[in-house]
Structure 1
Amino acid sequence: MITTLDYVVIGAYFIGLVLLSYFIGRRFQGRADYFLGGRRMPAWAIGCSIIATQASVISMISAPAFVALRPGGGLRWLQYEFAVPLAMIPVAAVLARAFHRAGVITVYEYLERRFGAATRLLFSLIFQLSRSLATGVAIYAAAILLSTILETSLSVSILLVGGICLLYTTMGGIAADIWSDVIQLFVLWAGIFIVLGYALKVGGGPEVLLAHVPAERLQALDLTAHGLGDGATFGFWPMVLGGLFLYSSYYGCDQSQIQRVLSTPDEETARRALFLNGIGRFPLVLSYILVGLFFAGFVQAVPSFAAAIPADHPDYMIPIFIKHYVPAGITGVLLAAMFAAVMSSIDSAFNALAAATVQDVYARYLRPGASDRHYLNVSRLLTVVWGTICTGFAFLAGGVAPTVIEGINKIGSVFYGPILAAFLLAILSRRATGVGVIAGLLAGVGVNLVLWLRFEAEVSWLWWNATGCLTTLAVAALFRSRTATAQPFQPGLREELRAHRRLYLGLLLYTLLIIGISAGLASFVQGAV
């Protein structure tokens, strides 16, 4: 049961973050400050911020639920991480480098310079739709936590979570998001180990819990599953290859992520930030996967706990555990950790949505040439508007997928592949046209929607990222121009790979390392059981 002490801990944490946001935000002069932090952010802070955004409350409560309870779950989720360091190679070598050279605030500005205003507007609107839906899922996940522990209705909790994140985000812009994410990353990581520690204490220790883990949850690598008609959504190949397309698009073409990278002063700083994310995410993911592993044994060893988890809502597992097994005061610390995760994923989305609306719609079509002060005020107003819209979407998020983490990735996977293809064509192809890119986008999204609505059971949703990208490339090729178009921001891929070959080779070797660690962990646990 939550006590006054818990409320004091949570309140102090919130007040500290709001004050941080206020003091950062009062120095802003215009859009570049609000959306890009004046392009002065250091690589290590950007890297921590990107990691914190991915290690959101969705990961904190839903990834352990996937490992412990989801049919077909278990350690297979580790395979999803193998694509992260691989994806940092095309993001750093092609996408981020081109955008930095272009000096854009939103990546959709780049599309206009290459393909025209219609392409920019369409892709920006798609981002605004897909990211607002995904952010609604994130708010819903946080509301699950809050409603379970505070014993409030889910509707009230959704409104409370959306309101808190909105207050915090509106004042400080991207700089406050980044610096608060650095704090929140370590608070979140501490929360993970606190939950794990109490689970081991209540459950009788690691040996007891591991002895109760079902054998089917101990498979980390599923090399035979391909996810094309075999019903294996989370096989090695769809998670690595599909995940490569997904993460390349998410980190390189999604405004909520690439906006952080664009807030660095130069290409080298951006490259280091992406490298830090590529190697730093796996240890954090491994932490909450281990939480899920021990909870897979906990739900078997403590039947009363398993009975308290709704059969159709496995995401309630961690919140119910905190409510019933963690003492007062510590509960407040864990709630602060959870809300740290909430803010790290939602604050950047609100800011990026406002950036896309201001830069790609308002300043482009409605009020071009207005003062920076005017755009700053409109940016804050639109942050409020998007926060309200995303909170509204949260009320619709419960039925998207068995776990929240799948729901948010399904929404993204419909769009990520086609969007990645469009930007690759803009940067690397001299004959691609705006008409071809738009036609390819519509075809790619259409194919993915058909796969979702008609063939979801046969084709893993992870493959949607690849099918969408390849379909877009194929259709766009039908509309190629006969004459080559000059590309002022083409990154020079061969020269980039040659100049930084040690960094990119390191990411490849790191991928092999984490595959080996995952396989070794599964073998160790199977031996212990």
Structure 2
Amino acid sequence: MSPLDWWVICGYLAGTLGLSAWFARRQTSAADYYVGGRSLPWWALAISILATQSSANSFIGIPAYVALVQGGGLTWLQYELMLPLAMIVVMVVLVPVLRGLGVISVYEYLERRFDRRTRVWLSVVFLLSRGLATGVALYAAALVVQVSTGLPLHWAIVLTGGITVIYDTMGGMRAVVWTDVAQMTVLLGGIVLCASIAWDMSGGGAAIIAAQDPARLAAIEWAHGVGDGARAPLWGFVAGGLVLYISYYGVDQSQAQRTLSAINVSGAQRALVLNGILRFPLTLAYAGLGLAIGAVALKHPALRDAVPANRLDLLVPRFIELYLPSGARGLLVAAILAAAMSSLDSALNSLSAATLRDFVEPRIGPAKALRAGRWVTLIWGLTIVGFALTVGGLASSVVEGINRIGALFYGPLLAAFACGILDRRARGPAVLAGVAVGLAINLLLASTLGANLFWMWWNITGLLVATVVTWVGSRLIAPPQPAQLLGTTLDAQALWRGVSQQKGLITLLLGWAVAMGGLALWLGVRQG
């Protein structure tokens, strides 16, 4: 890293903090702090959602998976196939209710629909799971920053986490969204710069394709993931991915907080549609970057020898270190920092929002909520940084399974909200029982079947079990009072009306889903 590289990095970080400080002057309430006063434009929210998905591990991990990992390749694109269909369900079923109620924490809905206990327990589940995942994610991101900058690991953790905590604590959701927009710009610039250099070094598109093992160019693994030991089975991603994305974008506070920040329901829906369209091209760009740098590694032994067999994720950082000129290296490291911080800021803001709204504000009142919110954000930030500093070797195994942890919870969590919105008989005690049994069944499957059941199927089993238990249990309890249901449920007529009102956006998403599936199918058949 040259002095020019460090000037580029420091300039980027200073700009991020300055932007956050400017937004901090406009806050007058907790709603300003956590949902931007519900005045954020839909396109910025869409880019913020997209930036949250583009973590440092994606920037580093996806190219390495595509280029080097045994059994890897373009099968990574299967992760994206169900996203447009999931966006349709979220925008038609979940957004009209959750955004329409004007909540800040999605778990507020559970108290309005059921009772306080249901809200508190599911919020606790979210805080524990998301807090652990965020600490591990910070550790993993810092490993990438360490390799890219040469800083000691603990300083990489403090730099990445500390800057994020400062601007998130000061600026709240407005700072998160607008810095995400800036970070996405830096990230895309880094991808383009890195890919253009790799393109020239490898000899162009034809040379890149010719250098690949044909199996890496197949985007589909024709398997289901039940007893076949498949690493990336198509049908596991199709079924489990649909549930995972509906739950993640619809009822996970870290993502749903963006749609709650939109000006109105229509704005929230448009943000989801744009994200549903842009995410596949971004993933495709990561995959293309992996193919290009992988071709460079085949032609240049220096790069190949710089990537140890047990750290294939060092492919992109080593390429940056060896082949990018001074200044450009700084831009790419800034892009890696941008990717890391854009994922951490949303998690931190959502943890703070759920903690304040579900536990703190009911005790102190709304007048003190803004100041308390900043303190809660700061406390969560310091906790996450502290955890990342101590997680050490534990993280290497946890990082590999972090997505599996989400799959344990997403099905039961979605069942709680779906039953509340679609089943007028659903009751709180039955919901809690359903979530507990669904999670227990998933844990049992994970411990007994292991590799014989692909982990994405846990999303399905958790959803089905929790829904059945909730449905049966609710019919053993007296039905809710009609006043309890106002604005919290949808009937068939309301659902049809929502589909009719958004038929243009739905048609766009369906067409995009067909195009994505067609491209993946063409690559799968062509190489198969």
TM over 0.5: yes
- What is the CA-CA distance between 1:200 and the residue it aligns to? 2.5
Structure 1 residues 514, 93: closer, same or farther in 2, change over 3 A? Answer: same
Q: Which residue does 1:234 correspond to in 2?
A: 232
Answer with 328-337 or 137-146: which moved more. 137-146
Q: Report whether the alignment pairs 1:67 with 2:71.
A: no
- Name the amino acid aligned to 2:391: L
Structure 1 residues 415, 273: closer, same or farther in 2, change over 3 A? Answer: same
Aligned equivalents of 1:363, 1:61: Cα separation in 2 = 40
Aligned equivalents of 1:134, 1:438: Cα separation in 2 = 23
Q: Which residue does 1:360 correspond to in 2?
A: 358
Q: Which residue does 1:349 correspond to in 2?
A: 347
- What is the CA-CA distance between 1:484 and the residue it aligns to? 4.0
Q: Which residue does 2:243 correspond to in 1?
A: 245
Structure 1 residues 270, 476: closer, same or farther in 2, change over 3 A? Answer: same
Structure 1 residues 170, 101: closer, same or farther in 2, change over 3 A? Answer: same
- What is the CA-CA distance between 1:182 and the residue it aligns to? 1.4
Contact 1:212/1:301 (8 A) holds in 2: no
Q: Which residue does 2:520 correspond to in 1?
A: 518
* SS of residue paired to 1:259: helix
Q: Report whether the alignment pairs 1:422 with 2:424.
A: no
Give the counterpart of 2:391 among 380, 384, 396.
396
Contact 1:249/1:416 (8 A) holds in 2: yes
Aligned equivalents of 1:504, 1:479: Cα separation in 2 = 34
Q: Report whether the alignment pairs 1:212 with 2:214.
A: no
Structure 1 residues 523, 230: closer, same or farther in 2, change over 3 A? Answer: closer
1:168-190 superposed Cα distances (whole Å, 9 cap, x missing partner): 21111001111111121121111
Aligned equivalents of 2:186, 2:522: Cα separation in 1 = 28
1:128-154 superposed Cα distances (whole Å, 9 cap, x missing partner): 112122222331232122211222332
Contact 2:5/2:328 (8 A) holds in 1: yes
- What is the CA-CA distance between 1:266 and the residue it aligns to? 1.1
- What is the CA-CA distance between 1:398 and the residue it aligns to? 6.0
Aligned equivalents of 1:318, 1:341: Cα separation in 2 = 14
- What is the CA-CA distance between 1:303 and the residue it aligns to? 3.7
Give the counterpart of 1:459 among 440, 448, 453.
453
- Name the amino acid aligned to 1:432: A
Aligned equivalents of 1:233, 1:149: Cα separation in 2 = 29
Q: Report whether the alignment pairs 1:446 with 2:445.
A: no
Contact 1:92/1:274 (8 A) holds in 2: yes
Q: Which residue does 1:309 correspond to in 2?
A: 307
Aligned equivalents of 1:478, 1:183: Cα separation in 2 = 49
Q: Which residue does 2:465 correspond to in 1?
A: 471
Answer with 21-30 or 302-311: which moved more. 302-311
1:304-323 superposed Cα distances (whole Å, 9 cap, x missing partner): 42332233332222112212
- Greater than 4 Å deviation, 4+ residue runs: 397-404, 521-524
- What is the CA-CA distance between 1:522 and the residue it aligns to? 5.9
1:1-41 superposed Cα distances (whole Å, 9 cap, x missing partner): x0110111111111111111111111101100000100111
Aligned equivalents of 1:240, 1:302: Cα separation in 2 = 38
Structure 1 residues 136, 403: closer, same or farther in 2, change over 3 A? Answer: closer
Structure 1 residues 496, 279: closer, same or farther in 2, change over 3 A? Answer: same
- What is the CA-CA distance between 1:156 and the residue it aligns to? 2.8
- What is the CA-CA distance between 1:401 and the residue it aligns to? 6.8
Aligned equivalents of 1:388, 1:343: Cα separation in 2 = 15
Aligned equivalents of 1:494, 1:483: Cα separation in 2 = 29
Aligned equivalents of 1:11, 1:113: Cα separation in 2 = 46
Q: Which residue does 2:373 correspond to in 1?
A: 379
Answer with 32-41 or 333-342: which moved more. 333-342
With normalisation by structure 1, the TM-score equals 0.93
Aligned equivalents of 1:217, 1:4: Cα separation in 2 = 39
Contact 1:213/1:294 (8 A) holds in 2: no
1:271-303 superposed Cα distances (whole Å, 9 cap, x missing partner): 111111111111111101111222333333334
* SS of residue paired to 1:478: helix
Q: Which residue does 2:252 correspond to in 1?
A: 254
Aligned equivalents of 1:246, 1:312: Cα separation in 2 = 30
Q: Report whether the alignment pairs 1:509 with 2:508.
A: no
Q: Which residue does 1:54 correspond to in 2?
A: 53
- Name the amino acid aligned to 1:44: W
- What is the CA-CA distance between 1:408 and the residue it aligns to? 3.5
- What is the CA-CA distance between 1:513 and the residue it aligns to? 0.6
- What is the CA-CA distance between 1:518 and the residue it aligns to? 2.9
Structure 1 residues 69, 279: closer, same or farther in 2, change over 3 A? Answer: same
Aligned equivalents of 1:522, 1:401: Cα separation in 2 = 32
Contact 2:82/2:242 (8 A) holds in 1: yes
Contact 1:148/1:323 (8 A) holds in 2: no
Contact 2:136/2:398 (8 A) holds in 1: no
Q: What is the alpha-carbon root mean square deviation over aligned residues?
A: 2.0
Aligned equivalents of 1:451, 1:309: Cα separation in 2 = 36
- Name the amino acid aligned to 1:266: N
- Name the amino acid aligned to 1:512: V
Contact 2:145/2:336 (8 A) holds in 1: no
- Name the amino acid aligned to 1:452: A
